[in-house]
């Protein structure tokens, strides 16, 4: 499963991926984190553009803070464009705890692995909050 990492979550994602790798999950489950620059997205891309790129490339967006404020907010885009074949947005509830709380980070890792393994079960779900 490929996760598109939100531009302001890169450092967090590297720590999560390091934990996933150190636990041996990458030997069992194909998980890849892709950064905006790898697929030509600008850091100031609208939520609508980011969501569409993720969907077109069959990726789940991994984020912590996409807004819900305007017509192009992630929440609004999901309401308008999501269907039963859409990949969900995986939202970390507390980004700071990923950095500072190993137990929380471990729970996030477990959920990411679970989502990757059972991705079909999550299709059509707009947003999955983790841990």
For the chain, give every domain's residue range: 2-130
Q: Which two tokens stand for residue 108?
A: 């996030």
The whole-number pLDDT of residue 128 equals: 96
Q: What is the pLDDT of residue 12?
A: 97
Q: Report the C-alpha gap between 60 and 55 in whole angstroms.
A: 8
Rounded Cα–Cα distance for residues 94 and 16 (Å):
13
pLDDT value for 72: 83
Instruction: Report the CATH architecture of 2-130.
Output: 3-Layer(aba) Sandwich (3.40)
Distance CA 65, CA 94 (A): 9
Q: List, for the chain, all residue ranges whose pLDDT scores fall below the cut of 50.
A: none
> Tokens 């990458």 belong to which residue?
26
> pLDDT value at position 33?
98
Provide the whole-model pTM: 0.94
Q: What pLDDT does residue 66 have?
A: 63
């Amino acid at each position: 499963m490929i996760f598109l990492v939100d531009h302001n979550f890169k450092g967090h994602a590297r720590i999560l991926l390091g934990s996933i790798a150190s636990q041996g999950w990458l030997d069992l489950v194909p998980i890849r984190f892709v950064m905006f620059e790898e697929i030509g997205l600008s850091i100031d891309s609208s939520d609508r553009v980011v969501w569409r790129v993720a969907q077109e490339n069959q990726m789940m967006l991994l984020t912590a803070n996409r807004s819900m404020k305007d017509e192009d907010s992630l929440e609004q885009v999901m309401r308008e464009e999501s269907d039963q074949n859409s990949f969900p947005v995986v939202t970390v509830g507390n980004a700071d705890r990923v950095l500072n709380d190993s137990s929380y980070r471990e729970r996030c890792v477990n959920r990411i692995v679970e989502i990757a393994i059972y991705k079909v079960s999550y299709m059509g779900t707009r947003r999955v909050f983790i841990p």
